C-alpha cells in the first residue's frame, strides 16, 4: 500500500499558509486497497482545495466521475455517476502527546507536527462509498429481462 499512500497523499510540511489546489484520479486500486470488491471500473476525479494555516489544514474535496456496481434487482452491471463533496480537517498532534501515529476518525485527521505527508486514501475511499445510493438499481425497464422475469408471479 506504500505506492497507494504516495498517490493519494498531499504534502503538509513545506506547504505555505494559504489556499492550494490538488487533483487526483481515483481508480480500482483504491477500492482494492480497502478490500472493496463491489465497486469497480472506478473513474473518479478528485479536486482538492486545501487551506493551510499555522495550526491546521482544511481540505474540501469534490469528486466527479462514475463507478460500476451490481444492480440490486437484476445483478447486472450498473454504471452510477459520482458527484460528491466532502470536507476533512487535518490537525497537528501536540509534540508532547503520548501517541504520534496519524489518526483518522472520518472528520478529522491528526498527524505529527513534523509529518511530511497527509495520506488521504481512507478519506477518498469513504467519500466514494458515501456518494453511492443505498439502493442501487437500473431505471425502470432497464434491468435484464431474463433475470426480472424470474421474479414475476404467475
106 DSSP assignment: S
pLDDT of 92 reads: 83
Q: How far apart are CA 124 and CA 135, in angstroms?
A: 21
Domain boundaries, the chain: 2-149
Q: How far is CA 89 from CA 31, 36, 60, 122, in A?
A: 23, 25, 9, 14
pLDDT of 96 reads: 56
pLDDT of 32 reads: 95
Residue 110 · residue 116 · CB < 8 Å: no
41 DSSP assignment: E
pLDDT of 13 reads: 80
Residue 33 · residue 5 · CB < 8 Å: no
Contacts of 36 (CB under 8 A, 6+ apart): 125, 129
Question: Can you read off the three cell numbers belonging to residue 95?
Answer: 509534540
Nearest residue to 108 via CA among 63, 56, 61: 56
Q: How far apart are CA 122 and CA 127, in angstroms?
A: 8
pLDDT of 99 reads: 55
pLDDT tens for residues 75-94? 999 999 999 999 999 988 76
Which positions of the chain have pLDDT values less than 70? 1-5, 94-101, 151-154
Question: Can you read off the three cell numbers belonging to residue 69?
Answer: 456496481
pLDDT of 152 reads: 65
pLDDT of 9 reads: 93
Amino acid at each position: 500500500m506504500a505506492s497507494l499512500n504516495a498517490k493519494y497523499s498531499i504534502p503538509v510540511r513545506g506547504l505555505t499558509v494559504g489556499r492550494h489546489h490538488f487533483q487526483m484520479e481515483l481508480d480500482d486500486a483504491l477500492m482494492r486497497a480497502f478490500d472493496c470488491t463491489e465497486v469497480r471500473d472506478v473513474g473518479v476525479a478528485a479536486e482538492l482545495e486545501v487551506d493551510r494555516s499555522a495550526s491546521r489544514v482544511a481540505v474540501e474535496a469534490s469528486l466527479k466521475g462514475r463507478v460500476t456496481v451490481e444492480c440490486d434487482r437484476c445483478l447486472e452491471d450498473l454504471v452510477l455517476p459520482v458527484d460528491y463533496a466532502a470536507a476533512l480537517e487535518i490537525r497537528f498532534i501536540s509534540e508532547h502527546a503520548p501517541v504520534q501515529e496519524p489518526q483518522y476518525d472520518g472528520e478529522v485527521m491528526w498527524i505529527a507536527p513534523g509529518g511530511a505527508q497527509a495520506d488521504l486514501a481512507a478519506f477518498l475511499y469513504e467519500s466514494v462509498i458515501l456518494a453511492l445510493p443505498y439502493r442501487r438499481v437500473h431505471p425502470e425497464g432497464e434491468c435484464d429481462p431474463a433475470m426480472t422475469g424470474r421474479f414475476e408471479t404467475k
